[in-house]
Structure 1
Amino acid sequence: MKVVYKPGNAYEEINCFDFREYEHGIVLHNEEGYNIGYVPHEILSHIEPHEGEKLAFEDGQPPEPYGDDDEDDEDDDE
């Protein structure tokens, strides 16, 4: 996968095999499981799968992330 982040004025990319998310950022791993980098959440842009790493979902769309309910948005205006 490719991790895209923006430490300054330009975007940077790191190719990795896997990552683990922690409270303040993500740690990137190579195929052997060694740490190859760290990206804080503040500068993380997005993570892209390489060709062949993409998953096919039964209904064509990935599931909604947990905790992104729009049901209680009406109460936010009060």
Structure 2
Amino acid sequence: MSARADAPGAQAQRVRAALGRSQTAEDVAATVAHLAGDGGRAITGTALLVDAGRTRDRDPAHAHDRDGVRRGVGRPSWRA
């Protein structure tokens, strides 16, 4: 494991990630391969986060409390 992965706080980041681990170079490579192949032929104009779910709580519209209750802004339009 690299020195950066062993740095203080690295374990805390892994725990916060939805997958319980950090992303790897292989994760990024697999995403790029998918986008470059037939599976990605209709994907345009988007940004993909390959971060093992670590940043999932940064967007308040998609964040959830620990008990699973949605705490975003407004209500989904399909529930209006």
Length-normalised TM-score, structure 1: 0.21
Structure (1/2) with the larger helix percentage: 2
Structure with greater strand percent: 1
Query: How does the TM-score come out when normalised to structure 2?
Result: 0.21
